[in-house]
Amino acid sequence: MASNNQFSLTGKAAWITGASYGIGFAIASAFAEAGAKIVFNDIGQAQLDKGLAAYKEAGIPVHGYVCDVTDENAVQATVKRIEQDVGVIDILVNNAGIIKRVPMTEMSAADFRQVIDVDLNAPFIVSKAVIPAMIRKGGGKIINICSMMSELGRETVGAYAAAKGGLKMLTRNIASEYGEYNIQCNGLGPGYIETPQTAPLRERQPDGSRHPFDQFIIAKTPAARWGTTRDLTGPAVFLASPASDFVNGHILYVDGGILAYIGKQP
Ligand code: NAP
Ligand code: GCO
């Protein structure tokens, strides 16, 4: 039954890419709580099985598929399987991503290309695969997981920043090109979030003190803390729901205020 709640995802099929754990898992869990049917993928069967076990433990019914999001043939085949198993994808979250922290002059072109492939080419490939059915169905939602590095640079993350900056503009272009088909494409820009991807930046020092980068982020964040995946779930549900039907091409930063703040005086 259709809900009057504009934040409801009841009856919607949502594919969150790379959502075995981390930010994707949290977003998928929140979408399920809002009524959506959940689809996720991972790059290999072993990783997918871990994700399936995690969703089962959380009591969340899901459909899982092995799919490398950089492989266009695999993505096209997976979309066909999802449409047969679950239905047309109403909500796509391009979450899968990698980072390589290497000074640019020491980074191989192959490593640079791999980051661009996963973090920018894949959102293009997956969005291209789901948009035609969204148009036939009368609309849809695409959410691209951007980053502080969609706006800012820092040492050692040049490939990632180039990808996430491009993802910001891909988001705006999908919004521009497909808005007339009732497709809203927006970005979600997390700040620094406690996940496996940032674990190296938060490791305790041998003397038990906080990692220097950990202390740096605390000083750069008005909220004076790292974000958690739960901090992202409400904004993600908003962007996936009818509540955001007139929001398009927007990057919603969920960063505790980092982008607004010069940083605490040392
Ligand atoms: P994470 O813990 O490293 O998880 C990334 C997920 O993407 C993993 O499940 C990984 O699967 C999957 N993945 C990677 N390459 C893939 C591929 N080719 N095909 C399919 N799946 C693939 O990352 P996270 O911290 O949750 O971040 C999720 C997204 O948020 C990323 O786009 C990241 O750039 C972005 N982000 C993170 C932060 C943060 O502070 N954590 C902040 C801003 C933006 P495997 O386990 O098999 O590798
Ligand atoms: C880094 C971090 C960041 C976060 C995130 C910030 O090395 O600076 O990994 O890039 O992952 O993207 O929004």
pLDDT tens digits for range 120-168: 999 999 999 999 999 999 999 999 999 999 999 999 999 999 999 999 9
Judging by beta carbons within 10 Å of its beta carbon (0-12, 13-18, 19+), is residue 111 exposed, middle or buried? middle
Angle, to 10 degrees, between the axis of helix 22-33 and the axis of helix 230-240?
60
Say what the pLDDT of residue 14 is.
Answer: 99
State pLDDT tens for residues 186-235: 999 999 999 999 999 999 999 999 999 999 999 999 999 999 999 999 99
CA distances from 88 to 13, 52, 133, 248, 264 (A): 7, 21, 6, 21, 48
Decide: 256 and 262 in contact? Cβ < 8 Å: no
DSSP state of 187: E
pLDDT at 93: 99
CA-to-CA dists, residue 157 to 73, 152, 170, 214, 217, angstroms: 29, 10, 20, 16, 16
Choose among 165, 166, 159, 164: nearest CA to 107: 159
pLDDT band at 266 (very low <50, low <70, confident <90, very high): confident
Q: Region 159-188: what's the mean pLDDT? A: 98
Per-residue pLDDT, 4: 76
CA–centroid distance, residue 74 to ligand 2 (Å): 28
**Residue 2 pLDDT > 80:** no
pLDDT above 70: residue 1: no
0.95 exceeded by pTM: yes
Using the mean position of ligand 1's atoms as its centre, give its distance from the Cα of residue 34 in Å. 23
* 140, containing H or E segment: strand 140-145
Confidence of residue 49 (pLDDT cuts 50, 70, 90): very high
Instruction: Indicate if 160 belongs to the active site.
Output: yes
Domains of the chain: 3-194+227-260 (3.40.50.720)
Residue with the nearest Cα to atom 39 of ligand 1? 193
Residue 263's DSSP bridge partners are none
Residues with CB under 6 A from ligand 1: 18, 20-24, 41-43, 47, 68-70, 95-98, 118, 145, 147, 190, 192-193, 195-198
Q: What pLDDT shows up at residue 195?
A: 94
| H-state helical runs in the chain | 22-33, 45-57, 72-85, 109-116, 122-137, 158-178, 212-220, 230-240
Percent of the chain with pLDDT over 70: 99
Tell me the per-residue pLDDT of 75-87, one tens digit each, with 9 for 90 and over: 999 999 999 999 9
Task: Compute the mean pLDDT over every residue in the chain, rounded to the nearest whole number.
Answer: 97
Helix 22-33 crosses helix 45-57 at what angle (to 10 degrees)?
Answer: 40
User: Of these residues, 160, 178, 192, 253, which one is catalytic?
Assistant: 160
